[in-house]
Amino acid sequence: MNSRNKNMVLLLYAVLLSGFGLGGGSFFIEARSEYRALKEKQAAAQRSLDAARLRLKEQETYLERLRTDPVLVERVIRERGYGRPGEIVFRFDGGR
């Protein structure tokens, strides 16, 4: 092989290698961007899950109080407009 052919082959290899490098780099940048977006989505989902777990814990605590605290049960029942047998319950419109 003469030197001109060797130079052409080396140039071809350099162009191919550069093309693969640019293509791979482009793929890597796109994959990294997608990875960041998914990590942000995961963090938002985790925050939502943590908030839901906190609400569940509060509701479980309230339910346990309803099961065991007769004063709370009576207050809740009265807030809903009920009374004991023989009582007269007055209901007001609330200013509307």
pLDDT digits (tens, 9 = 90+) for 43-84: 999 999 999 999 999 999 999 999 999 999 999 988 888 888
Is the backbone of residue 30 left (phi > 0), alpha (psi -120 to 50) or beta?
alpha
* Domain boundary assignment for the chain: 3-79
pLDDT at residue 96, as a whole number: 53
Is residue 6 a contact partner of residue 14, using CB atoms and an 8 Å limit? no
Distance, in Å, from the CA atom of 83 to the CA atom of 75, rounded to the nearest integer, reads: 10
